[in-house]
Amino acid sequence: MWGSEYLLGPVVPVRLATTCRENSAAAIDEAVRELLEIFLDRNDCGAPAVQLAIFTATHDLTAAKPAAAARRAGWNETQFLCLAEMVTDDDVPLCLRVLLFVWRGYGASPLKPVYLRGAQVLRPDLVSG
């Protein structure tokens, strides 16, 4: 199941978000894959370290479940939950948000959140390169 290297530290939450170019299965797949790949790259960890991913999607994303895209990207050891984002007047259109719970070794560097595309307006203080 998981390698022992993932059982030696705390589970740490981190937020990610992105937007899709349109409401289609292909666009959702593309956005999820990009978001997860960038997260792994920026945080120097592997997908097996991610124990749980909770996806939320705005009301205008109905073509596919983001968890299915993550599974197609090889995230087969992570538990997933997909939920509808609360509707508000200032919603970011076509937005996917993710809350990951990641095993981290003691003394590991803090996880870096990832906000891409139109979702950068959600947390401009956390947007980097």
The edge-to-edge listing of strands for the beta sheet with 11-19 is 79-84, 50-57, 95-103, 11-19, 114-115
Domain tally, the chain: 1
Distances (CA, A) of 37 to 9, 47, 62, 84, 87: 23, 9, 23, 23, 28
pLDDT tens string 30-60: 999 999 999 999 998 888 899 999 999 999 9
Where in the sequence is the domain holding 14, given as residue range(s)? 4-126
Query: Rounded distance, CA 84 to CA 9, Å?
Result: 31
| pLDDT of 1 | 46
pTM of the model: 0.89
Strand partners, 13: 101
DSSP class of 88? -
CATH number, position 114: 3.30.1330.40
